[in-house]
Amino acid sequence: MNSSPSPTHHAPGENALAPAEPAGSVLIRTPVTADGSAMWHLARRSPGLDLNSPYTYLILCRHFSRTCLVAQAPEGLAGFVTGYLLPDRSDTLFVWQIAVASTHRRTGLGRRMIDSLLTGLVPLGIRHLQATVTPGNRASLALFSSVARDLGVECRESPFFPAEMFPAEDNPSSPHEPELLLQLGPFDRSGKQDGDRQQKEAPPCR
Ligand SMILES: CC(C)(COP(=O)(O)OP(=O)(O)OC[C@H]1O[C@@H](n2cnc3c(N)ncnc32)[C@H](O)[C@@H]1OP(=O)(O)O)[C@@H](O)C(=O)NCCC(=O)NCCS
């Protein structure tokens, strides 16, 4: 089991001011570098995610913590979401990876992490969210469709990285699927949204 760092354990220069949000017994908060190792472990346990180097998770915690969150359960890391603002479109949050530990899936935690990110960033001018998904990742597609439905915004799907762009040598027994781009928005800067939380199933992104 991964040990969880104290939420007050910040390296110099890290963002200690972002709001922390309790979600049941799971605390959603801004990551610190001490979370990087547990994020790597959770990514490694998450089929469907490309595993980045441990260094990548450390850099995300250190330089991109304003656009990342971790979900801390009493027993360890229950989830994380990593993202950054597009360098040429500062009103767009790109969600790089999101993972929820298998014991916490289908409890709304993925949604709560995305919602928390948007709650913090939309008032700062973020109007769009982008993410990529592989066509076979039903959970990920359902997650972003659910966000779009409840926020009353469009979710558009388009080609992004075709399968042949990924090196075949990376995983010869299981070639990489294509990555589709999902674009959600525009979000209402006032914070008011038109979504319909009563609707049973989110319409798919198109
Ligand atoms: C994708 C993932 C983060 C979803 O997290 P989660 O906490 O289980 O999702 P939530 O409980 O918040 O569910 C959000 C919505 O997606 C739906 N959903 C979640 N998992 C689903 C699944 N396996 N099949 C169908 N729908 C699913 C939920 O029903 C909910 O929809 P609703 O609002 O209409 O009820 C999680 O499955 C995961 O970690 N997968 C492995 C890593 C991965 O593939 N990440 C995405 C690529 S970066």
Pocket test for ligand 1, best of 52, 146, 200 (most atoms within 8 A of CB): 146
Give the whole-angstrom CA distance, residue 175 versus residue 163.
Answer: 8
Confidence bin at 172 (pLDDT 50/70/90): confident
Distance from CA of residue 121 to its chain's centroid? 13
Which CATH architecture fits 21-169+176-185? 3-Layer(aba) Sandwich (3.40)
108 lines ligand 1 (CB under 6 A): yes
Give the whole-angstrom CA distance, residue 119 versus residue 100.
Answer: 19
pLDDT, averaged across the chain:
88
Residue 169, burial from CB neighbour count under 10 angstroms (0-12, 13-18, 19+): exposed
Which residue's alpha carbon is nearest to atom 33 within ligand 1? 146
| Domain ranges across the chain | 21-169+176-185
pLDDT for 99 beyond 50: yes
CA triplet 150, 130, 60: central angle to 5 degrees? 115
The answer to whether 91 and 189 are in contact (CB under 8 A) is no
Q: Which atom of ligand 1 is nearest to the CA of 147?
A: 33
Q: Per residue in 100-130, pLDDT tens?
A: 999 999 999 999 999 999 999 999 999 999 9
Highest mean pLDDT among 7-11, 113-117, 168-172, 185-189: 113-117
Ligand 1 mean position, distance from CA 140 (Å): 5
76 lines ligand 1 (CB under 6 A): no
User: CA quadruple 179, 56, 129, 77: dihedral positive or negative?
Assistant: positive
Which residues partner with 76 through β-bridges? 73
- pLDDT exceeding 90 applies to what percent of the chain? 75
Ligand 1 mean position, distance from CA 46 (Å): 12
DSSP conformational letter for 18: S
Q: Per residue in 45-71, pLDDT tens?
A: 999 899 999 999 999 999 999 999 999
